[in-house]
Structure 1
Amino acid sequence: MTTLPQATLPRERGRDDAMPADPHPVHGGPVLEGWTTSSGVRVVYAARRSIPIVDLNIDFDAGSCFDPPGRAGLSEMVASLLLTGQKRYGALPAMREEAAEHAFDDIGAKVAADAQADRIAIGLRSLSQPVLLERALLLLCAMLAAPAWAARPFERERERLLAFAEEQLTDPEQLCNLRLTQALYAGHPFGVVADAGSIAAIGRQDVAAFHRQYFVRSRAIITLVGDLTRADAERIAETLALALPAGASPLAAPSDTASRTGGEPEEANAVAPPPAAAMGRRLTLDHPASQAHIAIGARVPGVGDADYFPLMLANRMFSWRLNDVVRDRLGLAYEVSSALFMSRLGEHRIALKTRRDQAQQALDAVHATLRGFVEQGVDAAEFDRTRRELIDGRALAFDSNAKLLRHAADIGFDRLPLDHLLRWPEHVAAVSLAQAMATFAKWIDPARQTTLVLGARR
């Protein structure tokens, strides 16, 4: 999988040097603006004028959950092939892979694509100097609208994906996470994993067909952050949107007043929500790994749900408790974590590595720590300290263009209100200790969790 630099784009002419750089109101984060282009594409924008760089991101509702049956891995193949040569696009001549890469390098721009479960993200970073930015924009449009799908890059990328699929089955940590994902999302596209058979079945015609179906305006969300005016952002968004075919069922524009608990209705072409998770399962995998790997997962509400903030606060305290007890006091884990993965869907995972002969002891310690945390709770001082640290450290979440871009893009993709960053500290401050503990107990319950143990000594 290619990793995004987490994105960019625009222009110098018309820049208002008198405007304050990076406006951050005292009560929250950067101000986001949103609109819909004339052709129906949603846009999220944040000005950050202090450095001459623009970051741009386009998220397409086109992740691996849309891979057709028997072709798992197709979305990743599409993402990896986008920058391997383009056909002629307007005044831009056709380019082979090396020429396409050099074209971005020659103007100091960076571009990347990343296929995830629910989206394909395309990111661009460029200097805001008009000539360079315009060139980067033209190259990006060609990459999106006229990929060549040449035979040589296709065969190479397919071999790379085959090697990665094989590696997942041999690397103990990757295999543990893979099998837990399959268990948590059994019967749903999120739980389908690419293997040698599905990757080998992918043809160039499948890549082209996927691109035609999903790289369309109705499935795109554009995010712009950096050294550009609102007028420049509108111009760039219009250019990018018009480079894409229309598609069907346009997505609604983000709303400044959308309810955090309600959000906007799902569009007709979105993937269906997963079925109810199986409850309280334990799975064991034999593996010759030198350590035992334990992963405990549960599905939880997504980032737009009213339980998000209480759950996040409680999990921060539980993570500290878990490290203090299981790793530091008992010495039963080389590393242990409790993490929330939040998007339109949410997931909680506890992960640890331990000696093969003490896997059960470590698992028992995790369960005992969880029970103690839920039953005994934490004192008010610890809760207040955690809440204050989250609020005080919030500025670090967008201290660079790349970080701000990812937050803004997620707000657009997850259909959160545009004032989500501004009101984040307010939402955290509003959570009570009782609310945080009750929410944690409701969702992080052993009866809801799936546990996978890999490599334990029998």
Structure 2
Amino acid sequence: MTAGTAASAATQPNGHRSAERIGRTDAGPRPLPPLGTQRSVADLDLADRTLDSGLRVIAVARRTVPTVELRLRVPFADADPKHPARAELVASALLCGTERRGRVEIDDELATIGGELSAGVDPERLLISGSALASGLPTLLDVLADLVTSAAYPDGDFTRERERLVERITVARSQPRTIAREALQQRRYGDHPISREMPQASDVAAVAPAEARELHRAAVLPTGSTLVLVGDIDPVAAINTVAEALAGWATPGTAAEMPPLPVLTARDLLLVDRPGSVQSQLRFSAPAVPRTDPRYPALQLANLVLGGYFSSRLVENLREDKGYTYSASSYLEFSPTAATLTVDTDVTTDVTAAAVLETRYELARLSAVPPTEAEIESARRYAIGSLLISLDSQGGLASTLGAMAAVGLDASWLRAHPARLEAVTPEQVAAAAEEFFTPTAFTGVIVGDAATVGAGLRALGGIELP
């Protein structure tokens, strides 16, 4: 500390310096320290084995805390329009009881090992997630085995779960983001099963317990499913424990994967009328490439520059500069057979046309004016850092490995990805931006009050009005 600074500090109450003075020297603001060396993805103590039943088990030692995380993915697709309602009730009522245990017994047994289990479903898969003390893994697996082999869906508990689910779906279907997501899926994929992410409440109300039992017997199958364990475990021993605990889960057949998605083609945006709405939901979408494509790392960085994190062009334009929205983003979505790029923002009704114009402008600017080296480097640091953070916790690593396995990737892809990102050149990012972000490559929807926003959108062109 210089004498001048010390003298100034002495004038502060109790002799303390203000935050402003701490951040400055006599010559001006203190320079930021250089970035430290980027950490790499640590090698994983991992075992990967497919059991005789067809169940693939991935076990990873992560001994940060004495617990274990569990993720069981069961492909659960079906083209029947009524399938989503039945599938939702399978997930909602799965833990209501088995032939051996009632709901209270399941909860009590999990509580003795500091454990929990939950289930969720989407058009592609049934996902059972859980955790427990590592010493309680045999008990956790015993409960899991009981659920997948003999879930009972007792009438009384099933009816209560069905009533709660009907109420939740009724509320969710009134939300503008739900309406926009459903409209986008139908615009992209028509009547393909992927577009039925949420069932109709009336379909759910009509499902009987016997239908859930039948679907469970027919579709909750080990072959094609993947179980991931991450925690304070010995990977080989843990897989042996799984093989013993789930030996009774040997139902023949193969879990049903989602059929290939239709090719996403560019066409006009569709205006979906929501009378009286005070906001409009903007959703743009275009084809992308999977993580295995050599262009993917450059595409990932270009997407971050556009709207993949807070320091992006969309946020700077639509939020910081124009004040049109609280949040604007772009992101990549993956399935086993396709990848898509989505741009997502909600704006007030009176700026709908202007927001569409600015979004198109940012897409065109990205494809025509390559991102700067500074933008690329910022996106690169964010991408690598986010990946490392996602792998830091047992739960994050389990979820990431499960998601990778679903699209045919494994831990070796994760370990190598930071190096792929480091190797991306500005020229490659510019090429990806030009190839994937041209406005004419997109389709999508705008959900809003057509009477208010229709004239402005008509003037822009490229929008199909009701």
The TM-score with structure 2 as length reference comes to: 0.81
Return the alpha-carbon distance in structure 2 between the equivalents of residues 279 and 418 of structure 1: 34
Q: Counterpart of 1:204 in structure 2: which amino acid?
A: P
Return the alpha-carbon distance in structure 2 between the equivalents of residues 396 and 97 of structure 1: 35
1:315 aligns with 2:328: no
Q: 1:430 to 1:73 in 2, by over 3 A?
A: farther
Partner of 2:270: 283
Q: 1:336 to 1:196 in 2, by over 3 A?
A: same
Query: Residues 56 and 224 of structure 2 are in contact (CA less than 8 Å); yes or no, is this contact kept in structure 1?
Result: no
Identical positions, percent: 24
Q: Which of residues 229, 234, 239 in structure 2 aligns to 1:234?
A: 239
Partner of 1:7: none
- Displacement of 1:393: 4.7
Q: 1:158 to 1:307 in 2, by over 3 A?
A: farther
Gaps of 5+ in 1: 1-24, 89-94, 251-268
Partner of 1:435: 428
Q: Which of residues 54, 63, 67 in structure 2 aligns to 1:53?
A: 67
Partner of 2:447: 454
Q: 1:203 to 1:219 in 2, by over 3 A?
A: farther
Give runs of aligned pairs for residues 73-88 of structure 1, distance below 5 A. Answer: 73-88=85-100
Q: Which of residues 131, 134, 139 in structure 2 aligns to 1:128?
A: 134
Give runs of aligned pairs for residues 237-252 of structure 1, distance below 5 A. Answer: 237-249=242-254
Partner of 2:147: 143
Partner of 2:168: 164
Q: Counterpart of 1:318 in structure 2: which amino acid?
A: L
Q: Counterpart of 1:326 in structure 2: which amino acid?
A: L
Partner of 1:270: 257
- Displacement of 1:26: 5.7
- Displacement of 1:321: 0.7
Q: 1:281 to 1:154 in 2, by over 3 A?
A: farther
1:298 aligns with 2:283: no
1:337 aligns with 2:326: no
1:326 aligns with 2:314: no
- Displacement of 1:111: 0.7
Return the alpha-carbon distance in structure 1 between the equivalents of residues 114 and 59 of structure 2: 22
Give runs of aligned pairs for residues 31-110 of structure 1, distance below 5 A. Answer: 31=44, 32-62=46-76, 65-66=77-78, 68-88=80-100, 95-110=101-116
Structure showing the higher helix proportion among its residues: 2
Query: Residues 56 and 224 of structure 1 are in contact (CA less than 8 Å); yes or no, is this contact kept in structure 2?
Result: yes
Secondary structure of residue in 2 paired with 1:180:
helix
- Displacement of 1:86: 0.9
- Displacement of 1:278: 4.1
- Displacement of 1:328: 0.9
1:408 aligns with 2:401: yes
Query: Residues 215 and 244 of structure 1 are in contact (CA less than 8 Å); yes or no, is this contact kept in structure 2?
Result: no
- Displacement of 1:229: 0.7
- Displacement of 1:301: 2.7
Q: 1:159 to 1:101 in 2, by over 3 A?
A: same
Q: 1:164 to 1:35 in 2, by over 3 A?
A: same
Return the alpha-carbon distance in structure 1 between the equivalents of residues 246 and 78 of structure 2: 22
Q: After the TM superposition, list the runs of 4 or more consecutive aligned residues in structure 1 that deviate by more than 6 angstroms.
A: none
- Displacement of 1:165: 3.0
Gaps of 5+ in 2: 1-37, 454-466
Secondary structure of residue in 1 paired with 2:84:
coil
- Displacement of 1:35: 1.9
Return the alpha-carbon distance in structure 2 between the equivalents of residues 240 and 68 of structure 1: 33
Return the alpha-carbon distance in structure 2 between the equivalents of residues 81 and 179 of structure 1: 28
Larger radius of gyration: 2
Return the alpha-carbon distance in structure 2 between the equivalents of residues 52 and 125 of structure 1: 11
- Displacement of 1:38: 3.5
Return the alpha-carbon distance in structure 1 between the equivalents of residues 87 and 95 of structure 2: 14
| Residues 244-287 of structure 1: CA deviation (Å, up to 9, x unaligned) | 1232359xxxxxxxxxxxxxxxxxx5332122234223222232
Q: Which moved more, 1:111-120 or 1:203-212?
A: 203-212
Query: Residues 310 and 436 of structure 1 are in contact (CA less than 8 Å); yes or no, is this contact kept in structure 2?
Result: yes
- Displacement of 1:234: 1.8
